[in-house]
Structure 1
C-alpha cells in the first residue's frame, strides 16, 4: 500500500511539472507571436515590460528585460565591469578575485557557455546580492547598451543621464530575459532570441526557478 501511495505521489508530481512546463511554453509562444505579428506595436516590444498572460484560464505574470543592457561576462570590457561592480557596492577583495578569474578564463581562450559554467565565478562576488542579475553571456557587447540598462546599473557605471530613458523599443535580434511566475507559485527564468533561423525563437537559457 505504501509503495502504491508513493508511486501515485510521483505520478501527481510529474503531471504537475508537465502542466507547468506546458503553461510556461504556451505563455512564451503567446508573447513571441505577439512580437512577430505586431512588431514594434506589441506592448512586449517596449522594454522593460511586464504583464499577465492567460493560458487555459491560468494567469501567469511575465517580466521581460533586454540582455543588451547587462554586463557580458564573455565579451564585456573588464574595466567597465569592475567600475560597475564598485558602483553596485561589491567589496574590493571580491572585485579583485572576480577580475583575476575573468582575465584567466579569457587568457585560456574559454567562454562561458551557460550560467552553470559562470556560477563559480559569480560566487566570488560574496558582497553583492544576486550578481547574476547584472550579467549576461549572450549580448556580445563590450559595453551595455545604455538605452536598455537598468537604472541602478546605469548609475553604478556613472551614466547619470541614463535614468531618463525609461521604456525603450526592443532592438531586433536582442536576447530577452523572461521571468515567468505561475499562479501555483512555480517560476521560470529563460533567455530567448526572437527570430531564429528555423523557428520563431531560440532558447539560450532555461532555469526552473528565478534567482533574482
Structure 2
C-alpha cells in the first residue's frame, strides 16, 4: 500500500534546507533591491546638486548683466555709480552678494614700471627672493611679448615666484592686467596698496567713467564665486566687453 503521508519519500532535514534556501534567496533579493535604491538615491542627489549648481551659475551670470544694465541705464543714479560698492541680489531664488571695484586702482603688470611693482611687493610684505623672481617673470613676459592676459596668468606667475596667498595676501586686490595705466589711480587704490607705496589713502568712493575696467565679484550662498572683469562703453548697442571671466576665483568673502 502506498503511503499517504505528505513528507513521504523526503529525506530527513530536507524541509529545513528548503526553508533556509528560501530565506537566503529572500535576503539576497532584498539586498539587491536595497543596493539599487541606494544607487538611485545617490544618482538623484548628484543630479539635484548639478541642477542646483547650474541654477546658481545662471543666477550669477544674470547678476553680471543686471549690474551692467544698472550702470548703463541709471548712470549717476546707479547704486554702482560710486566705487567700490557692494549690494545684495536675489535672482530666481538665489541670494548673492555682489562687489564692484575699479581696476584703475590697481597696478597693471603689463604697463607699470618694474620698480613700482617691486616697491609695492616689498610694502605688501613679500620677501626679497620671491619678490625679485616675480619681477623677473614680469620682465621676461614683456621681452618675449607675452603679456598677462588674465588673472589666471597673474596667479600663475605669483605661484611660480613662490608667493602664496597666505596671511590674507591676494594678488587680485592689488594687481591687474586690464587698466592700461602705468600708474594706479590713487583715489581708487586699496588702502593697503596705498600704504605699501607710501601714499595717502582715500576712503571716499569715486565715480567711474565709461571705458574703465570694472571687476565684478558675485558670491552666492552655495557654489563658487564668479569673477568677471568688464570694460563698459556707455553705448546701448555694445554696452561692455568681457576682459576676464572665472569661477572659483577672487578674494571676496561672503557674509550672507
TM-score, scaled relative to structure 2? 0.75
Higher relative contact order (CA 8 A, sep 6+): 1
Aligned length: 210
Bigger mean CA offset, 117-126 vs 37-46: 117-126
CA 1:200–1:104 in 2, change beyond 3 Å: closer, same or farther? same
Decide which of 118, 121, 129 is 2:154's aligned counterpart: 118
Residue equivalent to 2:239: 200
TM-score, scaled relative to structure 1? 0.89
Q: How far did residue 125 of structure 1 move?
A: 4.9
Q: How far did residue 116 of structure 1 move?
A: 2.4
CA-based RMSD: 2.1
| Mapping of residues 1-212 of structure 1, within 5 Å | 1=36, 4-123=40-159, 124-126=161-163, 129-160=169-200, 163-184=201-222, 186-195=224-233, 199-212=238-251
Q: In structure 2, list runs of 5 or more residues that go unmatched.
A: 1-35, 252-256
Q: Secondary structure of the residue that 1:63 maps to in structure 2?
A: strand
CA distance in 1: counterparts of 2:58 and 2:164, whole angstroms: 37
Q: How far did residue 210 of structure 1 move?
A: 3.7
Q: In structure 1, list runs of 5 or more residues that go unmatched.
A: none
CA distance in 1: counterparts of 2:120 and 2:174, whole angstroms: 9
Residue equivalent to 2:14: none
The answer to whether the Cα contact below 8 Å between 2:56 and 2:223 also exists between their aligned partners in 1 is no
